[in-house]
Amino acid sequence: MRKVILTAIVMGLVGAASFAQSTDVAARGDRPDWALVVHGGAGVIERGAMTPEREAQYRAAMARSLEIGSNVLGEGGSSIDAIEAVIRAFEDDELFNAGRGAVFTAAGRNELDSSIMDGATLNAGAVAGVTSVRHPISLARAVMERSRHVMLQGAGAETFAVEQGLEISPASHFFTERRWVSMERALGRMGLPVPSRPDGAPDPEPVDHGMIERDAREHRFGTVGVVALDRAGNIAAGTSTGGTTAKRWGRVGDSPILGAGTYANNASCGVSATGTGEYFIRLTIASRICALVEFGGVDLQEAADQVIQNELTALQGDGGIVALTPEGDIAWSFNTPGMYRAQLTSGGDPIVSIYGDED
């Protein structure tokens, strides 16, 4: 019965979707010096559901992310530097489910996951379940560059963050009323008790979700991810998230799992994913798309669509990806009604989109 209901919900999401679009820079015959593609989460983001003010805020934040990334890349900065700069800004923006503004676990905590990968060297770093690090993407980068490990989790990851001099923030820094109320609603549906508010959280206040019509599916927008190509021809990818609302038992999603939520390899492509992580892990979505490009001789957009529109949908998973090749081809693909997304290449015009029927 549960499976039938889940199937109905997922097919509802997928059925309402309008699918992928892309810009094939190489097809225009000019290989860019640098390129950048960004997502701010996928889900049931339908035209008319958000207030115009909230929609404008998202579009402005996505446009700003392009500005931040292009400033780094335009000045000859590395793709890794661009990823970190863009994601740090998202982690401070409470619109997004990363850093401040992250969703809450069923226990009333913000447990943050992040990863970064360098396509030139296949070096990578990832962290899972950190609760006190203001910028999990910087911690993931520190793991990559300053530890002999690839992935750290929980208290150990936090000890490493302190040792590395990264900024530590109290639980109240990550707290937003909007995400707290979403978690309370989710717990209500699950028949679970609501935990007490974190120390230092402000008193409850009425919350403007920026949604004209709210429904049970508005549960987790705003994971952020970036793929960048720098002037040296190197690809990098990074992702940061609070995971899924009311997650339990130390659940970890795809975002910190290399090959699932994040992957970069100069031989093929870079990918950052967003969606229900359980499916992305099982399909190793990010590396699978790049493997199709590298070994299947498949064009990037085709590879992305094959994996998202066919394989993810067949498994009844929901979400999307952004991707980029060393040639500067950009693709995005999602099987949800919307995905916050944006792209820019040197010499090109920025594209910022939300809904499935946009470019």
Q: Under the rule (CB under 6 A), what is the footprint of ligand ASP?
A: 41, 220, 223, 241, 243-244, 253-255, 261, 274-277
* Cβ closest to ligand ASP, residue 94 vs residue 299: 94
Of residues 79 and 241, the one with the C-beta less far from ligand ASP: 241
Torsion of CA 136, 80, 90, 261, to 10 degrees: -70
245 is catalytic: no
In the bound complex, what is the minimum distance in angstroms from residue 95's beta carbon to ligand ASP? 14
Other Cβ atoms closer than 10 A to 76: 12
Q: How far is the CB of 113 from ligand ASP (least distance, A)?
A: 6
State the nearest-atom distance from the C-beta of 243 to ligand ASP, in Å. 4
> Looking at 176, 223, 244, 345, which residue is catalytic?
223
195-203 — which CB contacts under 8 Å span 24+ positions? Answer: 195/106, 195/107, 195/108, 196/108, 197/108, 198/108, 198/109, 198/171, 198/172, 199/170, 199/171, 199/172, 200/170, 200/171, 200/172, 200/175, 201/171, 201/172, 201/175, 202/172, 202/175, 202/177
d(CA 327, CA 9): 38
Residue among 34 and 332 whose Cβ is closer to ligand ASP: 332
Instruction: Please identify, using beta-carbon distances, which residue of 43 and 198 lies nearer to ligand ASP.
Output: 43
Angle between helices 154-163 and 136-146 (to 10 degrees): 80
Alpha helices in 26-135 (DSSP H): 52-74, 79-91
Closest CA to 104 of 191, 189, 179: 179
Nearest approach, Cβ of residue 220 and ligand ASP (Å): 5
- Least spacing, CB of residue 299 vs ligand ASP, in Å: 25
Contact partners, residue 237, CB within 8 Å, separation at least 6: 83, 116, 117, 119, 225, 226, 227, 228, 262, 263, 264, 270, 271, 272, 286
Distance between CA atoms of 88 and 90, rounded to whole angstroms?
5
In the complex with ligand ASP, the residue whose CB is nearer, 115 or 244, is 244
Bridge partner list, 334:
320
- Give the amino acid at 74: G
Q: Quick one: 61 or 73, whose CB is closer to ligand ASP?
A: 61
User: Regarding beta strands 151-153 and 124-130, do their DSSP bridges make them parallel or antiparallel, or are they unpaired?
Assistant: parallel
Q: How far is the CB of 239 from ligand ASP (least distance, A)?
A: 8
Q: Which residues are catalytic?
A: 223
